[in-house]
Structure 1
Amino acid sequence: MADTKLLTDHNHIRDWAAARAGQPALNDPTPGMPESEPVLSFAFGQHAYQDTDEGADRLGGVQPIEWDEWFRIFEERRLALVVSRDVPGQRDEFHELVRRP
């Protein structure tokens, strides 16, 4: 596994996502899992595009949301974002949300 770092600061998380053209999002809950909650994530590429005129904002179970809502859930669940350390010339999209230590 690549060298990683843990992010909890909202500005650092926004900067990390912006550098990869990522948008805050929710993924649909796991099918068949009782009481499963939507999962925080990021939408990259075509999933980051939201056409409000057409209402097509749930591509592949991904729902773009506002940063305020994303961070509200992030704090309620006491999460941290694990990302790869930046390597010059590369923009790795690896990320994982974990419970804070």
Structure 2
Amino acid sequence: MSEKPGNQTPNTPDVSETELRNMKVDELRNEAKEENIPGTSGMRKEELVKEVAKARQEGGDHSQDKGGGNQSEDTEDAQDLGAGPDGGKVRYGDDSSKSLKYSQEITSTDEEPEREGRSLATTHHEVIRQWAEERGGVPATVEGTEHGDHLGVLRIDFRDKDSNLREVSWEEWFKTFDERRLNFIYQEQRTDGNQSNFFRLENPDREDA
């Protein structure tokens, strides 16, 4: 019987990297956690695909060792970096913008834009991280805007020419994001159907984010 590309191990029928690439980032991350693959929170989609495929090809015997404290720690990480304190719901205040009012609220990684070019808004950690990672973006802060030990202006760095951005961890980024009660306003696609990198952060309690 012929095997799919990337699936040459007899006892691993689901190893196909093509199949894994069709999964969402959060689904891949859950698969990686089940395989006890370390460092999943900082991996991009392609890295997750490679690691999950590799773990399955090696037999996945280590996935049986799910007892002890590691599982609870992974579960806590997944919860902390899941929906966030507001369950993904948009935050409103006196200075909420008109664009927020007319944006489609996204509170789950399973929700899709109503149409191409639709303005979207969320506070859902995994939605934001998945959106950024699919575009090669990493969490960052603007150099020189820090306040003591606190991060400065938050950005997503797409590795463009903006050299004044400093990469930070998602944990730091989301901690600041929630402390400032920010909203993430963004697009999945432009009106022409092409992928969009547009986003902005809004604080509904004051004019500047």
User: TM-score, length-normalised on structure 2?
Assistant: 0.36
**1:80 and 2:194 correspond:** no
Deviation at 1:7, TM superposition (A): 1.5
| Structure 2 portions without partners, runs of 5+ | 1-98, 100-116, 146-150
Matched letter for residue 195 of structure 2? R
Cα deviation code 1:34-86 (max 9, x no counterpart): xxx72100110357xxxxxxxxxxx7211000000000000000001100143
> Which SS does the other structure have where 2:194 is aligned?
coil
Aligned partner of 1:8 among 123, 139, 146: 123
Separation in 2, partners of 1:29, 1:3:
34
Aligned partner of 1:43 among 146, 150, 157: 157
Q: Which has the higher contact order (CA 8 A, sep 6+)?
A: 1
Identity across matched positions, percent: 31
Aligned equivalent of 1:54: none
Compare the two structures and name the one with the higher helix fraction. 2
**Cα 1:89/1:3, change in 2 over 3 Å:** closer
| Structure 1 portions without partners, runs of 5+ | 31-36, 48-58
Separation in 2, partners of 1:46, 1:62:
10
Separation in 1, partners of 2:120, 2:168:
25
User: TM-score, length-normalised on structure 1?
Assistant: 0.70
Compare the two structures and name the one with the higher strand fraction. 1
